[in-house]
Amino acid sequence: KGTGIFAILEEECIVPKATDQTFLQKLNNTHDGKSAKFGKPKISGKKQVNYHFEIHHYAGTVGYNVDNWLDKNKDPINEAVASLFAKSGDPFISHLWKEYATEGHTRGKGGSFQTVSAKHKEQLQSLMDTLYSTSPHFVRCIIPNELKKAGVIDTPLVIHQLRCNGVL
Protein backbone atom coordinates (compact mmCIF):
# COMPACT_ATOMS: atom_id res chain seq x y z
CA LYS A 1 0.00 0.00 0.00
CA GLY A 2 1.52 3.30 -1.10
CA THR A 3 1.57 6.47 0.95
CA GLY A 4 1.75 9.00 -1.89
CA ILE A 5 -1.07 11.41 -2.67
CA PHE A 6 -2.27 9.36 -5.65
CA ALA A 7 -2.12 6.08 -3.70
CA ILE A 8 -4.22 7.60 -0.91
CA LEU A 9 -6.63 9.05 -3.48
CA GLU A 10 -6.97 5.62 -5.13
CA GLU A 11 -7.63 4.01 -1.75
CA GLU A 12 -10.29 6.57 -0.87
CA CYS A 13 -12.03 6.03 -4.22
CA ILE A 14 -12.54 2.38 -3.23
CA VAL A 15 -13.91 3.10 0.26
CA PRO A 16 -17.74 3.36 0.03
CA LYS A 17 -18.27 6.25 2.47
CA ALA A 18 -15.10 8.19 1.69
CA THR A 19 -15.34 11.94 1.21
CA ASP A 20 -12.97 14.71 0.24
CA GLN A 21 -12.57 15.42 3.95
CA THR A 22 -11.64 11.82 4.81
CA PHE A 23 -9.12 11.98 1.95
CA LEU A 24 -7.65 15.19 3.39
CA GLN A 25 -7.58 13.68 6.87
CA LYS A 26 -5.64 10.65 5.57
CA LEU A 27 -3.20 12.95 3.77
CA ASN A 28 -2.62 14.95 6.94
CA ASN A 29 -2.27 11.82 9.10
CA THR A 30 0.21 10.31 6.66
CA HIS A 31 2.34 13.34 5.76
CA ASP A 32 1.84 16.34 8.06
CA GLY A 33 4.91 16.76 10.24
CA LYS A 34 6.48 13.66 8.66
CA SER A 35 7.42 14.97 5.24
CA ALA A 36 9.30 18.21 4.58
CA LYS A 37 7.54 18.51 1.21
CA PHE A 38 4.01 18.46 2.68
CA GLY A 39 2.35 21.11 4.80
CA LYS A 40 -0.88 22.62 5.99
CA PRO A 41 -1.62 26.17 4.87
CA LYS A 42 -0.71 28.81 7.39
CA ILE A 43 -3.59 31.13 8.13
CA SER A 44 -2.51 34.42 9.61
CA GLY A 45 -5.00 36.94 10.97
CA LYS A 46 -8.03 37.52 8.76
CA LYS A 47 -6.37 36.16 5.65
CA GLN A 48 -8.16 32.99 4.53
CA VAL A 49 -6.69 30.58 2.03
CA ASN A 50 -8.81 28.52 -0.34
CA TYR A 51 -6.63 25.43 -0.30
CA HIS A 52 -6.29 22.53 2.13
CA PHE A 53 -2.68 21.37 1.87
CA GLU A 54 0.50 22.50 0.21
CA ILE A 55 3.41 20.82 -1.50
CA HIS A 56 6.84 22.40 -1.39
CA HIS A 57 8.07 21.86 -4.95
CA TYR A 58 11.62 22.73 -6.02
CA ALA A 59 10.40 25.95 -7.69
CA GLY A 60 8.13 27.03 -4.84
CA THR A 61 5.17 26.10 -2.67
CA VAL A 62 1.83 25.27 -4.30
CA GLY A 63 -1.48 25.08 -2.43
CA TYR A 64 -4.08 22.44 -3.33
CA ASN A 65 -7.82 22.37 -2.69
CA VAL A 66 -9.29 18.85 -2.32
CA ASP A 67 -12.89 19.81 -3.13
CA ASN A 68 -14.38 17.21 -5.51
CA TRP A 69 -11.12 15.26 -5.92
CA LEU A 70 -12.81 11.89 -5.34
CA ASP A 71 -15.60 12.61 -7.84
CA LYS A 72 -13.18 13.99 -10.43
CA ASN A 73 -10.84 11.02 -10.00
CA LYS A 74 -13.73 8.65 -10.80
CA ASP A 75 -14.79 10.58 -13.93
CA PRO A 76 -14.61 8.31 -16.96
CA ILE A 77 -13.50 9.65 -20.30
CA ASN A 78 -16.53 9.98 -22.53
CA GLU A 79 -16.06 7.31 -25.21
CA ALA A 80 -17.93 9.32 -27.85
CA VAL A 81 -15.66 12.32 -27.28
CA ALA A 82 -12.54 10.12 -27.31
CA SER A 83 -13.68 8.53 -30.57
CA LEU A 84 -14.35 11.95 -32.11
CA PHE A 85 -10.88 13.21 -31.14
CA ALA A 86 -9.29 9.99 -32.46
CA LYS A 87 -10.88 10.69 -35.86
CA SER A 88 -9.64 14.30 -35.91
CA GLY A 89 -8.10 15.62 -39.11
CA ASP A 90 -5.24 16.99 -37.03
CA PRO A 91 -2.62 14.20 -36.86
CA PHE A 92 -1.38 15.31 -33.44
CA ILE A 93 -4.87 15.27 -31.88
CA SER A 94 -5.82 11.95 -33.47
CA HIS A 95 -2.54 10.38 -32.26
CA LEU A 96 -3.18 11.52 -28.67
CA TRP A 97 -6.64 9.95 -28.57
CA LYS A 98 -6.07 6.87 -30.74
CA GLU A 99 -5.52 4.45 -27.84
CA TYR A 100 -8.73 5.53 -26.08
CA ALA A 101 -10.84 4.85 -29.14
CA THR A 102 -9.25 1.49 -29.96
CA GLU A 103 -8.84 0.03 -26.48
CA GLY A 104 -11.64 1.61 -24.44
CA HIS A 105 -9.68 2.73 -21.38
CA THR A 106 -12.53 3.03 -18.90
CA ARG A 107 -11.61 -0.26 -17.25
CA GLY A 108 -8.47 -1.12 -15.36
CA LYS A 109 -6.94 -4.43 -14.32
CA GLY A 110 -9.46 -7.21 -13.78
CA GLY A 111 -12.27 -5.20 -15.37
CA SER A 112 -12.44 -2.70 -12.51
CA PHE A 113 -12.92 0.97 -13.28
CA GLN A 114 -9.67 2.84 -13.96
CA THR A 115 -9.44 6.19 -12.21
CA VAL A 116 -7.88 9.35 -13.60
CA SER A 117 -4.97 9.11 -11.15
CA ALA A 118 -4.32 5.47 -12.12
CA LYS A 119 -4.27 6.43 -15.80
CA HIS A 120 -1.94 9.36 -15.00
CA LYS A 121 0.41 7.06 -13.10
CA GLU A 122 0.38 4.56 -15.99
CA GLN A 123 1.16 7.28 -18.55
CA LEU A 124 3.87 8.79 -16.34
CA GLN A 125 5.53 5.37 -15.99
CA SER A 126 5.41 4.93 -19.77
CA LEU A 127 7.04 8.35 -20.22
CA MET A 128 9.74 7.52 -17.66
CA ASP A 129 10.43 4.18 -19.37
CA THR A 130 10.86 6.03 -22.67
CA LEU A 131 13.15 8.64 -21.12
CA TYR A 132 15.30 6.02 -19.37
CA SER A 133 15.75 4.19 -22.67
CA THR A 134 17.30 7.28 -24.28
CA SER A 135 20.32 9.52 -23.78
CA PRO A 136 18.64 12.92 -23.55
CA HIS A 137 20.48 16.22 -23.81
CA PHE A 138 18.96 19.44 -22.59
CA VAL A 139 19.34 23.05 -23.61
CA ARG A 140 18.35 25.34 -20.79
CA CYS A 141 17.15 28.76 -21.88
CA ILE A 142 17.63 31.49 -19.31
CA ILE A 143 16.22 34.96 -19.87
CA PRO A 144 18.57 37.67 -18.58
CA ASN A 145 15.81 40.19 -17.78
CA GLU A 146 12.06 40.77 -18.04
CA LEU A 147 12.58 43.95 -20.08
CA LYS A 148 13.92 42.14 -23.16
CA LYS A 149 16.83 44.61 -23.24
CA ALA A 150 20.27 43.64 -24.52
CA GLY A 151 23.14 43.88 -22.06
CA VAL A 152 20.90 44.02 -18.96
CA ILE A 153 21.21 41.16 -16.47
CA ASP A 154 18.74 40.80 -13.60
CA THR A 155 20.90 38.67 -11.30
CA PRO A 156 18.12 37.51 -8.91
CA LEU A 157 15.98 36.48 -11.91
CA VAL A 158 18.85 34.52 -13.47
CA ILE A 159 19.71 32.79 -10.18
CA HIS A 160 16.04 31.87 -9.64
CA GLN A 161 15.86 30.29 -13.11
CA LEU A 162 19.10 28.38 -12.56
CA ARG A 163 17.76 27.01 -9.26
CA CYS A 164 14.45 26.00 -10.84
CA ASN A 165 16.33 24.23 -13.63
CA GLY A 166 18.41 22.26 -11.15
CA VAL A 167 21.68 23.92 -12.17
CA LEU A 168 22.31 25.45 -8.72
Domains belonging to the chain, first-starting first, are: 5-72 (1.20.58.530), 77-133 (no CATH), 138-167 (no CATH)
The pLDDT value recorded for residue 7 is 93
Low-confidence ranges of the chain (pLDDT < 50): 105
Q: Give me the pLDDT at residue 66, please.
A: 94
Looking at residue 139, what is its pLDDT?
A: 85
Euclidean distance between CA atoms 99 and 91, whole angstroms: 14
pLDDT for res 101: 60
Please report the DSSP string for the chain in residue order: ---SHHHHHHHHHHSTT--HHHHHHHHHHHHTTT-TTEEPPPP-TT---S-SEEEEETTEEEEE--TTHHHHHHPPPPHHHHHHHHT-SSHHHHHHHHHHHHH-TTB-GGGPBPPHHHHHHHHHHHHHHHHHTS---------S-TT--TT---HHHHHHHHHHTT--
Q: What is the pLDDT of residue 47?
A: 61
Question: pTM to 2 decimals?
Answer: 0.70
Per-residue pLDDT, 138: 81
Q: What is the pLDDT of residue 103?
A: 58
End-to-end CA distance of the chain: 35
